[in-house]
Amino acid sequence: MPAIPTHSEEAAGLKGLHLFFAAQSACSSRVRLLLAEKGIPWTGHHLDLLKKENVDPAYFAINPRGLVPTLVDDGQVVIESADIMFWLERRFPEPGFTPEGPADRAAMEEWVVRSATDHVKAVKTYAYIRRNAKAAAKTAEEVELYYRLQKDPEMLAFHARHDGTGDPFTEQDLQAAAELIETLMAQMEAAITADGWLAGPAYSLADMAWAAAWRTWELAGYPLDRHPVLCAWFARIADRPAWREIARLWAEPPRERVLQFAGA
């Protein structure tokens, strides 16, 4: 998806590369990992999701789904993590993380897209039920504001499960999420090449996209050790300087709202 129209004068007036993100968000982390790998200077606008800093009219004017991350590139707004990764890969082609062969390139693109389209069912649901439900609870005022701002049916349906306006999450929902995770991991294990990566002979956008989800499952207590091939795959990523850079911010979310990242 290309850049979207923005209703925010603030976003339209931003110069340079800006990322609105949450430190412990998997979707934000895959984009931050790509920025770190490319060594691109950027400005970060950190939103604390537990404080509902994204549930704000000013932020919904930038991102109409109220989600993180949002990229603003000289006033152009891109709102989905997969689209942001593709945007950055085109805008800053060196170093590149796209496989050369058409089959590997297609596989890479599919894995990146799936990291976004499978996120709510396979990543967010499991992590939310196991780890975030109580912390993410909204007050009545926050619920009212969220429903006034949010227009996306998928997000409304998800949040209705925990704010008292819909049926709550159940053990069956947790089991369904775990079963989907197992299906995804079996597919990932089948896709891992002899060189140890998800799409082709080299580390690519596909690996970055799913490394962030892996970390989220790890923090939620998912039994990852039953997948030694994927554990070895993630260990290779975690050993990269770019991963260590984003992991520090994941472990200690910033207190500052705006941060500068110098790049390489």
Q: What does the pLDDT profile of the chain (264 residues) look like in tens digits?
A: 578 888 899 999 999 999 999 998 999 999 999 999 999 999 999 999 988 999 999 999 999 999 999 999 999 999 999 999 999 999 999 999 999 999 999 999 999 999 988 888 888 888 888 876 655 667 888 889 999 999 999 888 888 887 777 788 889 998 999 999 999 999 999 999 999 999 999 999 999 999 999 999 998 899 999 999 999 999 999 999 999 999 988 888 898 999 999 876
Is the domain spanning 9-261 CATH 1.20.1050.130? The answer is yes
Per-residue pLDDT, 201: 96
Per-residue pLDDT, 130: 85
Whole-angstrom distance, CA of residue 150 vs CA of residue 119: 18
Q: List the chain domain ranges.
A: 9-261
